């Protein structure tokens, strides 16, 4: 099966570079390259969630030919959730599992300051406070010019998002949170349970909002266990599905 991985605000596909070696060989890790960062630094970043998930639905469609799951951290969790709902609306293949990390359930979203509108000095201080972008990047004039547009765009995607109620998803959901993350809590993460008719689990890991870096090995151990379960269920389901095919060994990229 495939595991599509979506980045946090300001992050790129490279944050998942080490994952293939640490996850089951039966899982093909597919990091999603969003515009405005890394190899796509010169492209215009998205600033709204709806066109972003509509575009992802179109771009990923040819790659939904075998069972797949989606992992997203922070902004990526929100994109993963709305992408699953977009695929359902378009009657396309749907994920067998969602891994939603470091993000409040959308129906419980607290009031959100629109920090993406801040003047550059205040915006940079806000980014530093969140601790997701290396300080040496933000203190280097040329590098800062490169990363700020995608950061502003990502913040705008999140801070202009409006949740609309829809029926529950039929895929299982696993939520993850950091025990020292001040941007969310077990209560807000537990709210993801309301979005599935299947099984739900919540794991709290040591670390702040970026526990997926500092507690990476623990997170990937848990992911491996869950993915092995999901692969088994997906294999059984695939006997009756249009994208049924043998699991292939992952190729190094």
Q: What is the pLDDT of residues 161-172, one digit of tens each?
A: 999 999 999 999
On average, the pLDDT of the chain sits at 87
- The DSSP output letter for 26 is T
Pairwise CA distance, residues 253 & 136, whole Å: 29
Chain segment 190-200, per-residue pLDDT in tens: 999 999 999 99
* Cα 164 from chain centre: 19
Q: Of 3.40.30.10, 3.40.50.300, 3.40.50.1820, 3.30.457.10, which CATH number belongs to 2-108+167-238?
A: 3.40.50.1820
> Structure tokens of 211?
């526990």
By C-alpha distance, which of 131, 111, 45, 50 is closest to 86?
Answer: 50
Q: How far apart are CA 156 and CA 94, in angstroms?
A: 27
Per DSSP, 251 falls in state P
Catalytic residue (one of 57, 74, 172, 238): 74
From first CA to last CA, the distance across the chain in angstroms is 17
Among this protein's residues, is 183 annotated catalytic? no
Task: Indicate whether this model's pTM tops 0.85.
Answer: yes
Q: What pLDDT was estimated at residue 143?
A: 73
Question: Model confidence over 37-89: pLDDT tens digits?
Answer: 988 988 999 999 999 999 999 999 999 999 999 999 999 999 999 999 999 99
What does the pLDDT average to over 205-214? 93
Q: Where are the domains of the chain?
A: 2-108+167-238
In 73-198, alpha helices (H): 75-89, 120-130, 135-138, 141-159, 186-190
């Amino acid at each position: 099966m495939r595991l599509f991985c979506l980045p946090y605000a300001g992050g790129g596909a490279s944050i998942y570079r080490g994952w293939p070696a640490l996850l089951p060989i039966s899982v093909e890790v597919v990091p999603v390259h969003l515009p405005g960062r890394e190899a796509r630094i010169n492209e215009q970043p998205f600033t709204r969630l709806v066109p972003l998930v509509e575009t992802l639905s179109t771009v990923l469609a040819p790659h939904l030919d075998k069972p797949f799951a989606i992992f997203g951290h922070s902004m990526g969790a929100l994109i993963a959730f709305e992408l699953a709902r977009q695929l359902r609306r378009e009657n396309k293949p749907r994920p067998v599992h969602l891994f939603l990390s470091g993000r409040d359930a959308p129906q419980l979203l607290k009031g959100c300051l629109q920090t993406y509108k801040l003047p550059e000095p205040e915006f940079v201080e806000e980014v530093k406070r969140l601790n997701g972008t290396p300080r040496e990047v933000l203190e280097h004039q040329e590098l800062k010019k490169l990363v700020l547009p995608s950061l502003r765009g990502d913040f705008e995607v999140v801070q202009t998002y409006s949740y609309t109620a829809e029926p529950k998803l039929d895929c299982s959901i696993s939520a993850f949170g950091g025990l020292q993350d001040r941007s969310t809590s077990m209560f807000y993460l537990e709210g993801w349970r309301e979005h599935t008719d299947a099984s739900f689990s919540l794991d709290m890991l040591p670390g702040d909002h970026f526990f997926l870096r500092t507690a990476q090995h623990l997170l990937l151990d848990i992911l491996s266990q869950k993915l092995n379960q999901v692969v088994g269920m997906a294999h059984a389901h695939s006997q009756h599905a249009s994208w049924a095919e043998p699991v292939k060994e992952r190729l190094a990229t």
